[in-house]
Structure 1
Amino acid sequence: MIESKDQNPPTQDPLEALVRKTIETQGQEFEGYVWAIQPLQDWADQADVSLITVKRKFSKAPYDTLCKQVEGKNALLVRVGVPDPNQPSRLASEMGKAFRNGVVLNDKLNAKQQAKAIKAGTEWKPKKSVTRDEYGCLHGLAKDWRAGWQLQIFKHTITPEGWATFMVEAKNHMKIQTETESFLQKGLGYTPMVLDYPHLKTLRLFWMCAEYAFVEEMFVRTTGLDQPWTGMLAGTNKSFWQDWDADLAEAYFTWMPQFKAINSAEETADGEA
């Protein structure tokens, strides 16, 4: 028998009792919890209630539900317990909504992309939603970014200002990588990449750059310092890290040295030119 890590008292409600029994006998683990998976109509038939009743009950406590692709088909995962806001699938869905509303359905962005395509003589078709591949990128971002900050990082990055900053950090990161010995031995060159609009596959590839750019932006907004590492050395940002978040501080200190190094190198080169 599979045991769920949820500890909830038994109930006399027929549907809840059925969900618990199904989890005990046929439960499947996903993202740290054990779920019952079957079509909504089967729940209605087995509990002897209407389909509308099942939908209404599953939409609120004590149930937690997730939609997931199972064998190529949409499936509803059900368990009895409190929803976990940090589940990657749940976060990916929230990020997908934010991307759809802020980017996919953004009339100004679509108009710019259409004009660009017409100028280039290429075909352009507006998107209506996040694709399956893009959802996979969002799921990966939800797993890799700092717990509790994924939505904030994502929503900041897909803004015009956030995306521009992210692209700068991604360019710097690419330059660092292409100057490594392995790249030089293979004769691989460095081509700066600049994307005008949020692109989820690029964001997934350079997720650490988005995390770094977000933390740096929050630091500058809070302290008013333009160069976070200068403030760090001077000790002027001590209160920021104490009042902010230890994980985000760790993120900043993790990525700061290499980004600072490449920025300093570029500033030196500009000064010599």
Structure 2
Amino acid sequence: MMELYTRRRLINRINMTASVLTTLVGLFFLAWILTVLVMKGVSVINWDLFTQMTPPPGGQGGIANALIGSLMLTLAAVVIGTPIGILAGTYLAEYGKRGAFPEIVRTINDVLLSAPSIIIGVFVYELIVIRQGHYSGWAGAVALAIIVIPVVLRTTENMLKLVPTPMREAAAALGAPQWMVIMQVVYKAALAGMVTGVILATARITGETAPLLFTALNNQFWTLNMNEPIANLPVVIFQFAMSPYDDWRELAWAAALLITVLVLGMNILARSLLRGHK
């Protein structure tokens, strides 16, 4: 008996040590990346960065058009993808608990969750860009919305399933139809978790570059027209970081730092909301 206990303690210590070491390795690289981003990007952040347009080679400027373009693309993608994800998640949690069709939907959703974003970009390129004959902000928004949908769907389904069944039964006993039970009881109980899913989806698409290379592309000029190519931070970072011009590379570091801070902030906010919901 003592030998078995000693052996289990040894195995536990080995596993705990390996877990701590791998965690420290991950934290080390995260700290390294953040340190480099801060060192390279902070010195470039100034008022011109947020008010000037992307400059020509060797010129002075900022990333104002890319910031606004990314904001427009992200908002459009969230507006398009969130209702679809919420409605599909509601169907799976409230109406499609069993059956072949709900399982097919869940399987497709799992595939979309793990699908490389570049494949989604190529799909939207074939679906919209080629038919339009030009790149556009709407094509980029559709590509990002396809990435939003499975995240919101999965989160919505899981949050709705956590709502106790007696709450639904109590509302139904008062004579409320099922749609009203879902809207007035289930949604309110799961609201924090559903909002968390939307925030996580927004954080996911904020730094996506590959889909936008095939859809929205980029624009060196100021534009608010979603029917034409539009500037965005991920593609600006991609293009400027690979350029031979020092001023462009400095802007790429600053843009990368802004995206990193934004994504970290949204993830922290999402975890805070989820912790409060629990």
TM range (shorter): under 0.3
TM-score (norm 2): 0.21
TM-score (norm 1): 0.21
Structure (1/2) with the larger strand percentage: 1
**Larger RCO of the pair (alpha carbons < 8 Å, separation 6+):** 2
Structure (1/2) with the larger helix percentage: 2
